[in-house]
Each structure stands twice: as structure tokens, then as C-alpha cells.
Amino acid sequence: MTSTMTTHDTPGANGTAADGIDPAVSAPVVALPVKTTGAGTRASRLQFLKPAYWAPVLVLLVGLGIVWTVVAKDSPYLLPPLSAVGEALAGNPLFYLQNAWATLQVALIGLVIGFVVAYVLAILVSELPLARRAIMPVAVVLNVTPLVAIAPALVVAFGFGPEPKLIVTALICFFPILIGVSTGLRSVSPAVLQVFTTLHASRLETLWHVRMPSALPYLFNALRIVFPLSIIGAVVAELAAPGAAEGLGTVISVASSNNRLAVVYAAIVCLALMGSLLLLIITAIENRALHWHDSRQGSRG
Amino acid sequence: MTTVNTPAAARPDSISIQGAVKIYGSGATQQVALNNVDVEIERGRFVSIIGPSGCGKSTLLRLIAGLETPDAGTASVFGVSPDAACAAKMIGLVPQAPALLPWLDVLQNVSLPAKVNRGSERRRKRIGGHVEKEAPDMSALLTAVGLGDAVHKLPAQLSGGMQQRTAIVRAFGLQPDVLLMDEPFSALDEFTREAIQGQLLDIWDEQKSTVVFVTHSVTEAVRLSDTVLVMSARPGRITASVDITLERPRSQDMLKTPEFHHFEDLIRDHLQSAWHEGPITSAA
Ligand SMILES: Nc1ncnc2c1ncn2[C@@H]1O[C@H](COP(=O)(O)OP(=O)(O)OP(=O)(O)O)[C@@H](O)[C@H]1O
Ligand SMILES: [Mg+2]
């Protein structure tokens, strides 16, 4: 009896169609043991070593570098020479590190504030229809408002302290998390909910055991959008408060008013590195937390 | 939700549906899913419901599970309302899709029901008709259905048949008084289906629970059931009740015997007349 069955025990052979797995996409990865720690990541790490993997981007970067150098040679007030940017960074790394740290702090604290508020509201919105009808319209209007534009107003209101930066960053991060999490909390299939209804699981139990884990993929999607946004929020707020002491936004605004293009671009390089680093971290956490999720299999690479 | 609304005619030893009416929608689009349905299912029986698509089989099952309230008539499960039965975890549900939680492995999935609604034990004891059984060993139950090697696998790593067996073990693991199954095997191929039927019968026999089983397959209904209820549509109602007197245990070989075919033909005839009485016209 069992032998008859094993012939049919091919993953995804039937019944899983509803999960929407594209066999063409997931097929090569299905073979990877998902549970064994690191086997999958090791494979993808090795992939990075192959020239086919890094050569294209290297060629593009070299090409862009050449174009940049040519332009910088002709008109040094359009773009600073790359060597000048490098010298600016190498000449005073501590300066950039300090300012990057200041900006990162604002970005992360603002993100945490926005995250907590958005997550709590997302639970309210998905559990209480009344709360949804009250909160969602406001949230949507907030989303279409270019929030960075209120930064100057907040500087007028709060001065050059951290408050305007945190508020702008939190506001920018708020909406994607609210939408992502509230959608995720309601993404549970009716069949699963019926099973838990017949178990008479309380709302809190359903929320904890079923809804919150179901919302994780949506949450991580939102986080991947929101991490870079948080840096944008922090920098824009710093630009709007030129008297502030620290932060890469301040560095940029001061340096550009002094025509020190190399410093401006050095700060921008720092911001790009910071954003990439954050994205890398969030992706690593996501891969770990969502190893069970279908989309992990297709979206690697 | 918490009021235990025991219907007057509730019987402690059966699932009892009396004069149940369920109407969906209103006005021109009104749909009578169930029209005056009476069902009496005694404890320990394996009862299948068969009928054309849209005749209200799932609706009837949801009524027993307390997921729907009847517009008229009563439903009771071993003497208490379906809602009270759920509160005491007397009902196990196996939906058509396995409905497993993808982030939990097989063992965690089947163990989760024990972790919610902790007060159910207390409520169970208060219900007279409930038969006390001790909690089963989940690993043993999984091994019994051939999932012994898969206990630590995630649902995405399982085939459809293995997922469905996991869902069955999850429902059985509660030691429910009644197991409600809505076309649980419809997505499986014939061979897997027959093998799992055998396993289902084994567990059912061992645990002595009551099973209400919705199916589209005549063969499946005959093999599994003590009684087959035939439904017809427009409006949804029960048109025949056939007792399957084949002896148990029913092996796969029995499917080929003339007695088996006799019952299959009988139910096919009932289904055919059910079809003529309530043809599925194109949906309005
Ligand atoms: N939630 C609902 N809202 C509106 N109409 C519904 C709903 N659920 C069921 N119905 C209607 O009630 C009737 C019976 O539905 P039900 O799902 O019980 O049929 P079924 O016998 O299980 O069919 P199938 O074999 O296709 O699963 C159908 O005509 C359907 O359109
Ligand atoms: Mg149905």
C-alpha cells in the first residue's frame, strides 16, 4: 500500500496548484533541502564566485566609470573626478562614518517608530471593521501626500533637534507597513480559518498562531521597501534643517553650498552603501525567517 | 457565542438536523441551498453524503460544524449545539484543501490544535454525551498513515496525498466525537485515494469516532460508509438513504466484488433520479 503511494509522492504533483507555484521557477530549488541549515545559502554563495554571475555587473560598472571620468574631465563642475571622491572618502573616513552613523540612527529609530505604530494599527484595522473604515482613508491620503514636503514645516515647529527627522522618517515608513501587514493578516485562506473556527480558537490565538505568521511574507516585502525609504526620509529631513550638526544630509547641503562636489558625492556613496547594507541585512533575515515560503524559492538571485 | 443553546429535540447520541433550511442571497438571486433537511447520524457511524455539484453538501457539513446557522430548523451534535460542540473541541474538520500552515512542519501542524482553546477539556466533561478518550501519540498516528519519515518536513515538501493525510491526522488527533470531511480526497489520483481510504478506515475503526464524509465518488462512498445519503439540488434536499451492509474491514480487493457493484449501481440509480428531479440549470 505504501509502495503504491510513494510513486505519487512527488512534491507539488497535485493539490498544491492553489499555492501558485510556478514549477519552472521552483523546480531547481525544490531539490535543495530547505530545512538543512545553510545548504541553500551556501549554494547561492558559491554562485557568486562564477564569472557569469559577477562579470556583467562589473562590465557595466567599468563602463559607467569610464563615462564618468570622461565627463568629469571636460566639466569638473558637473561631476567631480572619481579620484577626488575617493580621496575625500579616504582622507577623512571617520568624518563620513560619524555622519553616516548619525543618519543611520535617525533612519532606524524613525523606522522602528513607524513600524510599531503601523503594526499595531494593522492589527486593529484587520480585526475591527470600524477601525478599518476610520483609519484606512486617512492612511491612503497620507500616502499620496509627499510627506518629505512637510519636513521644512516640522523644522519650523520642532527646531533642529531629532524630532522632525524622526517624524518624517516614521511617516514615510508607516504606510507600506500598514498596507503590507493588514493585507497579510487577512490573507489566511478560508479553509484554514474554518479549521480554527471549529476548534473554537480565540481571536487572539488565531491572530498569534495563524494570522501573524501568514503576514510575515507581506511584512518582509514592506520592510524591503521601507528600509531604503527610511534613509531617504532621514536625509531629506536633514537637508531641510541645514543648521543641524550631524548627518550625511547636512554634509551634502553644507558641501554643495561650498561647491565641494567631491564631498557631496562621497556622502552619496556612503548613503548608497548604507542602503545596500540594510537591504542585504533584511534579505538575509527574510531568507532565514521565511525559508518555508514559496516565494523564497523563486526570488533568490 | 457562548450561550449553549440546546435545541429541544437534541439527542445525546446522535448528530441531529431537523427541518434545516438554508437560503443564500435574497430576491431574484435567492438560492435555497437546503430545504427542510432532516438527518439523524448515530454515534460511531460512517455516513457519506453524495450528490450533484451545488446541491448543498458543503452547506450541510458547515451547518453541523457550526460554521453556518440555519435559517430555519435545528442542528445539534450529540445533544449540544454545534457551537458548544466546537467549544468543547468535539468536531474535527478536514476541508477539501489540506489547509496546513506552511511555516510549521508536519508534527507541529498536527499538534497545533491541542494548543488552542485550552478550556475545551473542561467543557467536554460537562457534556453528557461525550466519550472520554486519552490524547493520542501524534508521532504514532503519523507513522500509522505512512508519514513517519516526514514528521519534520514542511507542507511544501509534501505531495498532495501526504498533505491530505496530515490534515486527517490533525483532525483525528483531537479525538473528536465527530469528524467532518469535505471531499478530502478529490484532488488525489485514484491509487493514492484508495490507499488513504484504507488508512482512514483503520483510524476510524480504532478511534470509534463518527464520520460525516462528503464525496463525489460513488465507489468511495460505498467503500467507506455505513450509510450513504443521496442529495439532489434545487432546492437542496436528501432524496435517499442507502445502508451499505458490506462487511468490514473493507479491503481494496472488495471493490471488485459483485456485492460492491450492486451498491454502486443502487446509488448511481438514486443519483440519476436526483439529477432528473433537480437538474442543474445554468446558474442565474
Ligand atoms: N457563501 C455562499 N453564498 C452564496 N451562495 C452560496 C454560498 N455557499 C453556497 N452557496 C450556494 O448554495 C448552494 C449549495 O452550495 P454547496 O457549496 O453546499 O454545494 P455542494 O453540494 O458542496 O457543491 P460541490 O459538490 O460543488 O462542492 C449552491 O447553489 C451555492 O451556489
Ligand atoms: Mg462542496
Return the residue in A3, A34, A198 with the most chain B beta carbons within 10 A, the one to mutate for interface testing: A198
| Average pLDDT, rounded, for chain B | 83
A34 touches chain B (CB under 8 A): yes
CA of B126 to the centre of ligand 2 (A): 33
Interface ipTM: 0.86
**Between residues 183 and 212 of chain B, which touch chain A (CB distance below 8 Å)?**
187-189, 191-192, 195-196, 198-199
d(CA A271, CA A68): 19
Strand order in the sheet with B227-232: B91-94, B178-182, B210-215, B46-50, B227-232, B237-243
Find how far residue B52's CA is from the centre of its chain: 17
A198–B192 C-beta distance less than 8 A: no
Q: What is the CA radius of gyration of chain B?
A: 19
The CA angle A13-A193-B10, to the nearest 5 degrees, is: 115
d(CA A238, CA B87): 56
Mean pLDDT within B165-176? 87
* Ligand 1 touching residue B58 (CB < 6 A): yes
A10–B159 C-beta distance less than 8 A: yes
Per-residue pLDDT of B43-73, as tens digits, reads 889 999 998 888 888 999 999 999 998 888 8
d(CA B272, CA B153): 44
How many residues does this entry show for chain B? 284
Q: Closest Cα of chain B to A121: distance in Å?
A: 24
CA of B12 to the centre of ligand 2 (A): 28
pTM over 0.90: no
- The answer to whether B221 and B198 have CB atoms below 8 angstroms apart is no
Q: What is the pLDDT of residue B189?
A: 81
Residue B254 pLDDT level (bands cut at 50, 70, 90): confident
- Chain A residues lying within 8 Å of B117, measured CB to CB: 199-202, 205
Coil, strand or helix at B57? helix
Q: How far is CA A259 from CA A72, B46, B234, in A?
A: 15, 85, 82
- Domains in chain A: boundaries: 2-32, 81-300
A122 touches chain B (CB under 8 A): no
- Locus of grid cell 572618502: A89
Which has more pLDDT, B239 or A5?
A: B239
Q: Give me the tens of pLDDT residue by residue for chain A, a chain 301 residues long.
A: 334 333 343 333 343 333 433 333 333 333 333 334 444 455 566 677 777 888 888 899 999 989 988 888 888 778 888 888 888 888 888 899 999 999 999 999 999 999 999 999 999 999 998 988 998 898 888 888 887 788 888 888 887 778 888 998 999 899 999 999 999 999 999 999 999 999 998 899 999 999 999 999 999 999 999 998 899 888 988 888 766 678 888 888 888 888 888 889 999 999 999 999 998 999 899 888 888 876 554 433 3
Exposure of A9 by Cβ count < 10 A (0-12 exposed, 13-18 middle, 19+ buried)?
Answer: middle
In this structure, the residue with its CA closest to atom 24 of ligand 1 is B53
d(CA B63, CA B82): 8
Query: A81-300 — its CATH code?
Result: 1.10.3720.10
CA of A275 to the centre of ligand 2 (A): 50
